[in-house]
């Protein structure tokens, strides 16, 4: 079992719709969770971080964390073609010096 699992996609949504990206992790002691966006040929950029159960909203992005279910998700409201990218979920334990990345979900938003 991978430490961090994501559906590889591709996930395709129409412009204006809500895109839902999911991630599960195996280490119950994980405490820090991140979503990074990576455009093709570019390096990742941080878009959201979440540390406690519940929802965290930032503009059109909402991160949701459920530690009991070991599940973290990212919702993108009013999806735009510019949101088309690969989204990487990353998880970090309390004593871990490094983050563990999922394989990423490729999102395509169609005009």
**What is the footprint of another protein within residues 46-75 (CB under 8 A)?**
46, 49
Q: Binder to another protein among 25, 30, 36, 107 (CB under 8 A)?
A: 36
Enter the tokens of residue 77.
């409201």
Please count the CA atoms within 13 angstroms of the CA of 90 that sit on its side-chain side. Answer: 21
Q: Let me know the angle formed at the C-alpha of 65 by 32 and 50, rounded to the nearest 5 degrees.
A: 40
Q: Binder to another protein among 27, 67, 101, 108 (CB under 8 A)?
A: 101
Q: Using the rule CB under 8 A, give the single segment among 19-27, 57-65, 67-75, 93-101 that binds another protein.
A: 93-101
Q: Does 92 bind another protein (CB under 8 A)?
A: yes
Q: Does 29 bind another protein (CB under 8 A)?
A: no
Residue partners of 68: CB distance under 8 A and separation at least 6: 53
- Coil, strand or helix at 73: strand
Dihedral of the CA atoms 72, 1, 90, 37 (nearest 10)?
Answer: -90
Q: Does 24 bind another protein (CB under 8 A)?
A: no
Choose between 9 and 17: whose C-beta lies nearer to another protein: 9
Choose between 40 and 82: whose C-beta lies nearer to another protein: 40
């Amino acid at each position: 079992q991978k430490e961090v699992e994501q559906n590889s996609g591709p996930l395709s949504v129409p412009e204006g719709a809500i895109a839902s990206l999911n991630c599960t992790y195996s280490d119950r002691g994980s405490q820090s969770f991140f979503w990074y966006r990576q455009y093709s040929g570019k390096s990742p950029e941080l878009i959201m971080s979440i540390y406690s159960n519940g929802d965290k909203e930032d503009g059109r992005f909402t991160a949701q964390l459920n530690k009991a279910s070991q599940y973290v998700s990212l919702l993108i409201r009013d999806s735009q073609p510019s949101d088309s990218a690969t989204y990487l979920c990353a998880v970090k334990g309390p004593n871990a010096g490094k983050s563990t990345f999922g394989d990423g979900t490729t999102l395509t938003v169609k005009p």
